[in-house]
Amino acid sequence: AQSVTQPDIHITVSEGASLELRCNYSYGATPYLFWYVQSPGQGLQLLLKYFSGDTLVQGIKGFEAEFKRSQSSFNLRKPSVHWSDAAEYFCAVGLNFGNEKLTFGTGTRLTIIP
Amino acid sequence: SAVISQKPSRDICQRGTSLTIQCQVDSQVTMMFWYRQQPGQSLTLIATANQGSEATYESGFVIDKFPISRPNLTFSTLTVSNMSPEDSSIYLCSGTIGSAGGAWAGELFFGEGSRLTVL
């Protein structure tokens, strides 16, 4: 079965600094990969996804992620964070059509300091 | 895209009672799912809500505890039965839309969740 690991439980970044959130997956083939963000008291919003093709994926709110097959990683990056980026970030892996269940990582809580 | 609405958004319940959460989608979704997010934890899939038939439950979840209905393509309910404090969680409804070609459109939409506290 597939699994997702987010090694960082909590990250604190200064506003304006760059950000990288780590995600590693375990799956025999290339899975569908996702990053979701959950603001306090809110549901989950999709930031970006990777299915195939270009391994650098652009998402909303200035986020991007890079799929590295050799490292089984799908790290999320942002060149300059804003205070509104403070939230919980979840990496998730899915399989294929007809089996769209997602397996989520444990999440990384992002705190932004002035 | 799809907008998913859940009711109630939060509730405080007594031990031993049951609560039904409603999930309404503003468009037809191919598949609907129910997830649980325990305090400070990630999301765990409870079941896939199947239209007009019994839901498909993940390991560790059973129909007697979490009965689910999905009478049509835009509506589903999850009941949390005989609640205990361990059931205090956020319950999230989600849905996904297939493309016209049959492939997955590649996004799982989420409601804002129903936060249950069991005393």
Helices vs. strands in chain B: H and E counts, helices first: 0, 11
Q: What's the rounded mean pLDDT across residues B6-34?
A: 93
Q: What's the rounded mean pLDDT across residues B41-45?
A: 89
CB nearest B33 (choices: A96, A98, A101): A101
Rg (CA), chain A: 14
CB nearest B92 (choices: A43, A46, A103): A43
Q: Which residue of A has its CA nearest to B58?
A: A101
A100 to B30: CB separation less than 8 angstroms, yes or no: yes
Among B58, B60, B55, CA closest to B79: B55
* Torsion angles phi and psi, residue A13, rounded to 5: -135, 145
**pLDDT tens by residue, A50-73:** 988 889 999 999 999 999 999 999
| pLDDT reading at B100 higher than 70 | no
**pLDDT tens by residue, A1-28:** 778 999 999 999 999 999 999 999 988 7
